[in-house]
Copies of this chain bind each other. A is one copy, B any other.
Amino acid sequence: MDTSRPARVGRQHILEVAERLFTEHGYRATSIREIAQACGVTNAALYYYFPSKEALFFEVMQRHAERLRQRMTEAGARTQTPRERLAAILREYTHIVTDQDSPFFLLRRGARGFKQRKALRTRFGRLMTTMLAPMQETLAEALAAGELRSQPDPAEAAAMLIGMLHGLVQHRRTCTDHNPPTSDEDVDLIVDVFWQGMSVTTC
């Protein structure tokens, strides 16, 4: 192996291996050395691409968020109206985030060990913007069509909608004994309340 030319093992390959190890063993339990070994390169070769384990982790998260965004956009593409699209996207989001064995959850849990709270917040902001984009775009479309009110703006409205979902999930998880899973019917009810609330009133 020629470690003087780290470019031979691609950035993408490192990201894939890192995602697998972070997901399987958690962030803290996975060292740069283990990732490098699993990729068949030296630590130095890995640092050629990523300045730190944190930086590598955030790239893994961002890449993961882009894939989830793609999944949500695809779920929305099979619908006719903005309202149906919003429901389809939120259902897909719910499947992703409420599955506690999903890579999303496992990776997020890993982030608990982070020391730099401020950098973490900024990075999570970017992830959330990625995740919320399909909803925000759908709301902007409905606003442009004159269906929805302009305040709150699409970005804030999307954040509120997600908040309604998380509020319900949290309530179920902490306040009920049996902790029922969030169903598509729950999501549809949330979208129903939200859409009616955001609608331009015509009466």
Picked from B124, B159, B165, B194, the residue with its CB within 8 Å of the CB of A168 is B159
Return the chain B residue nearest A163 by Cβ: B167
Interface residues on A, range: 35 or more
CB < 8 Å neighbour of A163 from B151, B157, B170, B174: B170
Q: Are A193 and B152 in contact (CB under 8 A)?
A: yes
A166 to B170, CA, bound (A): 12
> A-side binding surface: helix, strand, loop or mixed?
helix
A164, A194, A195, A201: residue with the most chain B Cβ atoms closer than 10 Å: A164
Residues of B within 8 A of A171 (CB): 128, 155-156, 159
Q: How long is the Cα–Cα vector from A161 to B157 in the complex, in angstroms?
A: 13
Chain B residue nearest to A202 in the complex (CB): B203
| B128 x A189 contact (CB < 8 A) | no
A181 in the interface, Cβ–Cβ < 8 Å? no
Residue of A122, A157, A174, A203 most packed against chain B (CB within 10 A): A174
| Nearest-Cβ distance from residue A34 to partner chain B, whole angstroms | 26
Which residues in window 155-203 of A have CB below 8 A to B?
A: 155-157, 159-168, 170-171, 173-175, 189-190, 192-199, 201-203
B-chain residues with CB within 8 Å of residue A203 when the two chains form the complex: 202-203
A156 / chain B contacts, CB cutoff of 8 Å: 168, 171
User: Which residues on B sit within 8 Å (CB–CB) of A125?
Assistant: 173-175
A160 to B170, CA, bound (A): 10
Q: A174-B121, A174-B128 are in contact. Are A166 and B168 (CB under 8 A)?
A: no
Minimum CB–CB distance from A193 to chain B (whole Å) comes to 4
Q: Is A30 an interface residue (CB 8 A)?
A: no
Q: How far is the CA of A173 from the CA of B171 in the complex (A)?
A: 23
**Complex CA–CA separation, A203 to B173 (angstroms):** 36
A-B residue pairs, 6 tightest by C-beta: A163-B167, A197-B197, A125-B174, A159-B171, A203-B203, A193-B197
